[in-house]
Amino acid sequence: MSLETVSTNRAFGGTQGVYKHASKATGTEMTFAVYVPDHAEGAKLPVLFYLSGLTCTHANVMEKGEYRAACAEHGVIFVCPDTSPRGDDVPDDEGYDFGKGAGFYVNATQEPWATHFQMRDYVENELPALIAANFPVDIERQGITGHSMGGHGALTISLRNPGRYKSTSAFAPIVSPLNCPWGEKALTGYIGADKAAWRAYDACALIADGARLPDLLVDQGTSDNFLEEQLKTHLLDEAVAAADMPATIRMQEGYDHSYYFISTFMADHVAWHAERLNA
């Protein structure tokens, strides 16, 4: 599990690093960012994984997410993987919402995507093991969050792995890929036409099928231009209410889908995770 260090920078009394490695899950080189607050020698810190949205790499949240001050204050390591495999041999699509930059955190079963697009295995298994082997994390105290497509990833990964994540949140998540154009395109392309197989990648379907989280925080902007057609936050409201699952879903007046929105509420999310990770 060797890593190559791409860069390190001091920030808020900690170290922001970018690293790359050869991934067994995707069969490609993968790049990710990690922020490690200063800490006592030998200390193990909780870790928060952040999954980015369509078209993003590790760099979007690293450069615009404004998480470092909050992570330094609460002693939380912040990990930012890429959204898909990349490289000359990796297939792509002309659309921004499929292929490179749009892995949807699934394990693809359809060709030509199945060879490399194994982002579920990468985020659920390979990356946490890599982080645990190379950084001072307490893997028993891990949380997960994400934005848009990454919010979909955070919700579904946590719902599929009960007890693994002590905290789960999302910014403007795609709550039901079964019921939106982004999801229909991605899941048909990666998984195939059988919608029964899609349910493992749909937060609302997983909740309806019995999956539960001990708590959930979601922020969604009311001026998000993707809200009605793609995100459909009301479906998550209905799903958690029907399941009597604890959740705080906040509609933030006037906010859009951008990192102006994410950065505004990032410190709230880090503090919320820290409270649960340090309990």
In the annotation, is 169 catalytic? no
**Active-site entry in 84, 148, 158, 169:** 148
Instruction: Assess contact for 135 and 36: CB atoms under 8 A.
Output: yes
Measured CA to CA, the distance from residue 244 to residue 218 in angstroms comes to 16
Q: Can you give the pLDDT at residue 247? A: 98
Q: How confident is the model at residue 279 (pLDDT cuts 50, 70, 90)?
A: confident
Q: Which residue is it, tokens 């392309």?
A: 189
Q: Which residue is it, tokens 């934005």?
A: 147
In the annotation, is 257 catalytic? yes
Instruction: Determine the topology of domain 48-278 in CATH.
Output: Rossmann fold (3.40.50)
- Which ranges in the chain belong to alpha helices (H)? 58-64, 68-74, 119-121, 127-134, 149-160, 181-191, 203-208, 233-243, 259-277
Would you list the domain boundaries of the chain? 48-278
User: What would the pLDDT profile of 167-209 be if each residue is shown by its tens digit?
Assistant: 999 999 999 999 999 999 999 999 999 999 999 999 999 999 9
Measured CA to CA, the distance from residue 218 to residue 212 in angstroms comes to 15
* Averaged pLDDT of the chain: 97
User: What would the pLDDT profile of 60-104 be if each residue is shown by its tens digit?
Assistant: 999 999 999 999 999 999 999 999 999 999 999 999 999 999 999
Q: Can you give the pLDDT at residue 2? A: 86
In the annotation, is 176 catalytic? no
